[in-house]
Structure 1
Amino acid sequence: PEDVARVMENNRRRMEGEEISRVYEFRAVRKDGAVIEIEGSFDLIRRGEQVIGIQGIFRDITERKRIQESLFEQQKEQTIITLAGGIAHDFNNILLGVMGNAALLEDELAGLPSAKSLVKNILTSSARMAELTNQLLAYARGGKHRPEPSSVNEIIEDTLKILHGSLHSSVRVERHLDPAIWPVEADRTQMSQVFLNLFVNALEAMDMGGTLTVRTENVRHATLWHGPGAEQMAAGDYVHIAVTDTGVGMTEETRRRLFEPFYTTKFMGRGLGLAASQGIIYNHRGVIVVDSEQGRGSTFHVILPKSERCLATQSAPSPAATRHNGTILVVDDEETVRDVAGRMLKRLGFQVLLAEDGAAGLALHEQNRSKISLVLLDIQMDGMSGDEVFERMIEIDPEVRVILSSGYEETAVTTTFRCSEKIAGFIQKPYTMATLTRTIDEVLGE
């Protein structure tokens, strides 16, 4: 109804001779009361030189507009995903410089407890920043992803233990966990992050107290839930996790925008948690859907495919060994990363060669191939990329051992490698001295 005056005014002006577009859009109300989008094409009716009326053809473009808006939202999301992944990768490079130098400095300050305490604060803050970059990478579906057959019941219980200290006495937690739950292929750290985000979201919705209910069950199909991505799930065996709160619920607007990055209803606003959770679930070939009604609480449904593998038995880790001889070539175009990696390796007892780009790395490798034990190679470099350098090194020396390094996770960057079976190892930035030592020991067989 609010568009009637605009349409009538446009028609009046056209009939009076003004240059008004003959095609424009407006809204109309159908007999059943539904509001639809209309594209109208209007032409003047003439009798000789006199304008005696106006006629139009109306087209219902509601579905076309819906598709256009959906495509726009997908393009916007993809842009944000690309931006988030790029930012996280750059942060990881920077964090390696901060964390690596702080760890080296901590060893130098062994006799100065007060100074060592300050360094520990730096390392703690850096670790928190690394967690944030992991959330960004998870949202970008490029986070560190190490799936293994896992029990969601165990992950839920472990996550609730972490949350225990934050639970108010007015909040009751109810568990209805199927003891015969099927295993799923899950990265336990990422899945714990998802559940933690869902639990915290539920607690914040229950300011006055209430009940947090967690339920798990095996389902034979995934057609009971409707939402973004649900139609993409094939019929099969799935594990269903439901997280329900008795809080304030959500408006339709909140539900529609809930998984947008940085969208939040919180006063101070964090807003990345649920977007990151959605990215993680999609990365696990699953779906996350929310049911909510204002004033009646919310339920988040997580649906994950059943694993065809059995749960792995936990074995005691073998003690890490440290190699104290040999030469390692570090190829990285980030000076800080190069310097920190070189210092770490020298601390472990290695001789170190440093190359600032792919061309320099190839030259050093060809000159020193007989004494180089392994190569630590960055994948994302300006000029000659890491995969090009890797292929050239393999051509020169098929037996060369190369550990690839990146701010992204392994599968996100190595899938395009033509000689992927020749990759000796992978380490994700930011890494610690312990992680670097363990990776090198595995490659060199120490």
Structure 2
Amino acid sequence: MDFTLTERETHFRDRVRAFIDADIRPRHGEYLAQSHEGERWKVLPVIEEVKERARAAGLWNLFMPPRSGRPPVDDSFAFEGTQLTNLEYALCAEEMGRIGWASECFNCSAPDTGNMEVFLRYGTREQKERWLRPLMNAEIRSAFLMTEPQVASSDATNIQTAMMRDGDDYVVNGRKWWSSGVGDPRCKVAILMGKTDVDAPRHQQQSMMILDMDTPGVTIERMLSVYGYDHAPHGHGEVVLDNVRIPAANVLLGEGRGFEIAQGRLGPGRIHHCMRTIGVAESAIEAMAKRLLGRVAFGKRIADHSVWEQRIAKARIDIEMTRLLCLKAADMMDKAGNKAAQLEIAMIKVAAPTMALQILDDAIQAHGGGGVSEDFSLAHDWASVRTLRFADGPDEVHNRSIARAEFGRHTNHVPQ
């Protein structure tokens, strides 16, 4: 088994790393200052300026899957991106994860990445022209409206938002929350999941539609906080849909195909989160090590106390193990397809946030009172990563899939 990176994998990883070191990391203070000035929900000039530099450098839409993994697109209407494999992108995404706002600079931030893949895979030519092109050009942003407050949305078949056909439109009524991205003033489109036929088979009741956020009846009722953080300027909102009329032409793939699209969308999205989370963990262990080396307690450096040696060692081991699992999942997606890699995707989706949260918690402990303050990014990063144990399916759902696969291996070998 050869773990050596190819020339192409190294090339893109190093280019992203170098760009972050030269153009993003030095402006982090500027980003923080702009974030805390004036309105919370706004466009930050520093991000827009860095975006232009990243695009000019050819570091743009790196997440877009290679053509071999999707249906062909009319050459006159191609949306290619950089054509990185999942494995190549994994290495880049880890670098982006080291600084929270870096991924947007490369036009590689959620939920736009997942939504762009949906438009690419399932959209019509007209839908791509209207929505995918401006998203790939970073002219607009988007949201994904799936989760609902009144039902356990970890089971997507529970979703109750009603989509009733009325002539050439659907009339939509419902309430969504954790609608990531709706706080951004550039959010112009959302992909919305609801029920079009309650009498159809369980997994054919749902449909996905393209929602123009300017449609009458769409109300962002409130923005939600995450452990006290509002996550502006991106954020997560609660959205009310009151007799919203959506043209039938806005249905993606066809009525009753919503659950199918959700499965196709969430697979790549799950591993993208995990890739970035490894970058978060790397930043946390770096901050922890530097703090421990620079502070003295009880007559010696904190780093020389054995408890911290154990924690640092475990953190490094856990990062390395998690990275290998993530790269294995990405490699399987490239070689055998997303469906064949479902088990590996489920495992990394559970493992990566759990690993990062423990390292962040230790890093917070190493920083003492400063760790829970906003003087360092650790508390904010912990709150962000904690949401990943829910996002794109909670741990319990993924663990259930892993356990069932394991039981399935042994069903025919149970002693009688």
Under TM normalisation by the shorter chain, which class is it? under 0.3
Q: TM-score, normalised by structure 2?
A: 0.26
Kindly indicate which of the two structures has a greater share of residues assigned to strand: 1
Larger radius of gyration: 1
